[in-house]
Amino acid sequence: MLDLTIALAKGRLADQAIDLLEAAGTDCRVVREMSRKLILTDEQAGLRFILAKPADVPTYVDYGAADIGIVGKDTLLEENRSLYEVLDLGFGTCRMCVCGPEDLAGRLDSIPNKRVATKYPNIARAYFEARRESVEIIRLNGSVELAPLVGLAEVIVDIVESGRTLRENGLAVLDTIASLSARMVVNRVSMKMKADRINPLIQSVRRQLEQAGRTTP
């Protein structure tokens, strides 16, 4: 019987998520098979993996189409859904930052009605609202660092990992909004109804993280 569905974020985090689940004793061979299938089923283990766009993983888990999701904290903050965030998985670490030209450092609030370009409009809006700064949010889909370079926006809100993209484009971190990493999330109903199945999985992943010396909340 297929009793557990895990949603993985396609892209950067998927490989590390699979490595971790496997190290924790979950057979992930079906996911490793090179294919374009979006649902990968291991009948014997009663397990099903779905491969979703990162930004959609919280939606699948929130509606119960998946019981468990592995997704970046950036997406969780942006989507702000009511899920159980059960584990910090310790990989995919980076920061959500306000970035812009170096000469704005320390005087971010000196520009009234700034334009802020971002893939994360909700995070950006919440940050500037908390500072009582009035801004215009411009939603982009990627290569956000381009916006201040061509006058589309004064600053950006984006992920900084190594800092290389900023450096190579003459931009700097002006403020850090949040530390980010991959998280395991669980649907609220599944957490209760499938506790027998989900709790051991959480425990084995937690043990694996502890053995690997990664911190967990």
Q: Which is nearer to ligand PRP, 68 or 72 (CB)?
A: 72
User: Dmax of the chain from CA atoms?
Assistant: 61
Residue listed under structure tokens 């109903």 = 189
**Rounded least distance, CB 128 to ligand PRP, Å:** 19
**Rounded least distance, CB 119 to ligand PRP, Å:** 6
Size of the site for ligand PRP (CB under 6 A): 12
Q: Which is nearer to ligand PRP, 5 or 72 (CB)?
A: 72
Q: Which is nearer to ligand PRP, 30 or 173 (CB)?
A: 173
- Record the tokens describing residue 192, joined without a space: 């209760």
**Rounded least distance, CB 167 to ligand PRP, Å:** 8
Closest residue to bound ligand PRP by CB: 142
How big, in percent rounded to 5, are the helix, strand and coil portions of the chain? 35, 30, 35
Query: Could you tell me the strand order of the sheet in which 68-72 lies?
Result: 39-42, 47-52, 4-9, 68-72, 182-186, 84-88
Residues 141, 119 contacting (CB under 8 angstroms): yes
Picking from 178, 183, 180, 185, the residue whose alpha carbon sits closest to that of residue 209 is 183
Report the alpha-carbon angle 120-136-178, nearest 5. 35
Q: Which is nearer to ligand PRP, 21 or 96 (CB)?
A: 96
- Record the tokens describing residue 99, joined without a space: 């970035």
Q: Which is nearer to ligand PRP, 40 or 117 (CB)?
A: 117
Q: Which is nearer to ligand PRP, 167 or 192 (CB)?
A: 167
Site for ligand PRP in 135-164 (CB under 6 A): 142-145, 158-164
Site for ligand PRP in 3-22 (CB under 6 A): none
**Rounded least distance, CB 11 to ligand PRP, Å:** 8
Picking from 88, 143, 94, the residue whose alpha carbon sits closest to that of residue 118 is 143
- C-alpha–C-alpha distance, residues 97 and 123, integer Å: 10
Site for ligand PRP in 157-216 (CB under 6 A): 158-165
Site for ligand PRP in 26-55 (CB under 6 A): none
**Rounded least distance, CB 74 to ligand PRP, Å:** 9
- Compute the chain's Rg from CA coordinates: 19
- Site residues, ligand PRP (CB under 6 A): 142-145, 158-165
